[in-house]
Structure 1
Amino acid sequence: MRKVIVEAYSADWKKKFEDEAILLQKSFGSEIQMIYHIGSTSVNGLSAKPIIDIMPVVRDITIMDEYNDQMAAIGYEPKGENGLPGRRYFQKGGNNRTHHVHIYEVGNPGIERHLAFRDYLSTHANAKKDYGDLKEELAKQFPYDIESYINGKEQLASEIERDALRWYKKVYKER
């Protein structure tokens, strides 16, 4: 049984992302267009489960299934779309997860959703504090119940995502 652990932000998370991004780039080569650090560990100052979320963006998502063996060779468990059509998802670390990889094809709206959420929390201190505080409280309340932890943050995360997408579209339309 996995324990739900939420930690204070760690500067080490950026280095862990960078190291893993190099490994993924070597595995996928020219298939990868960009690699982004996403999720709570990508937001400076935000408390998070210490699992690094990585989002490679590729030209053709259907080719990614051919890389399952390569991903397994570097410690990742292939999970297919795992509930999100158009995504390929991988987990590393088994019950002590260290990394999640979310691969999307160029143009998939999931890319904007993840980047908007990350950038919004990075620039909106109150939303970041509210989200971090809620995650810390839920981890204490449900230390061995990941479902309840996830369900407990769903409403606030959805509200932040809605606001983040509005904000992101406005900010990037103005550029």
Structure 2
Amino acid sequence: MVGLSRNAVALELHDPSWHDAYREEAERLRNLVGEYVEAVEHVGSTAIKGIPAKPIVDVLVVVSDGKTDAMAASLDANGYERRPNDDVPDRVFLVRGPPDCRTHYLSLVEVDSNCHREQVALRDYLREYPDVAAAYASLKRDLAAMYPENREVYTAEKSAFVEDVLDRALPEYAP
């Protein structure tokens, strides 16, 4: 089952149905705006077996160069809500579902943008290194217990861990 209210932080054990929800969403996107889509990726914690996640499916859509705004406008007319970029300069961020039951997060990015590389690298690294994924799961559980109604702080508190993983996964971006 997918869906969670906008500001809540409630983690669930990994659910294989999240992959099915991703595939359905990817198909829906291809039907709506396929002419702009280069690739669709399941990212975020729902894409990593064995770790808890908020039951909101993260979808990364790689868009033809210069087409993110056109695609976002089309999606706005088809049940998605465009949200501020949340300090991520190279993506357009949209959500699906009403504020009391967000079901999907959608990041529109251009090929080889930093957001594209980082989201895929993080997912792949956590899939490849179960011990790191377990440490991330433990951190997420602790933070969810501390900030059950403050997703902004929950997300900010995970950032150092995520940056550390990205430094290992993408050594060319390490300071």
TM > 0.5 between the two?
Answer: yes
Q: Does the CA contact (< 8 Å) of 2:68 and 2:109 recur in 1? A: no
Change (3 A) 1:86 1:145: closer
1:28 aligns with 2:33: yes
Pick from 55, 68, 83 the counterpart of residue 64 of structure 1: 68
Q: Which letter maps to 1:6? A: L
1:156 aligns with 2:161: yes
Instruction: Identify unmatched segments of 5+ residues in structure 1.
Output: 168-175
Q: Which letter maps to 2:137? A: G
Alpha-carbon offset, residue 69 of structure 1: 4.3
Q: Which letter maps to 1:108? A: S
Q: Which letter maps to 2:10? A: I
Instruction: Report SS of the residue matched to 1:77.
Output: strand
Change (3 A) 1:29 1:165: same
For 1:105, the equivalent position in structure 2 comes to: 110
For 1:145, the equivalent position in structure 2 comes to: 150
- How well do the aligned residues superpose, as a CA RMSD in angstroms? 1.9
Instruction: Identify unmatched segments of 5+ residues in structure 2.
Output: 1-5
Percentage of identical aligned residues: 30
Q: Which letter maps to 2:162? A: A
For 2:119, the equivalent position in structure 1 comes to: 114
Given the two structures, how large is their TM-score scaled by the length of structure 2? 0.86
Given the two structures, how large is their TM-score scaled by the length of structure 1? 0.86
User: Structure 1 or 2: larger helix share?
Assistant: 1
Give deviations 1:60-98, integer Å, cap 9, x for gaps.
2x3332234431343210136443223111111224211
Question: Counterparts of 2:141 and 2:148 in 1: how far apart (Å)?
Answer: 10
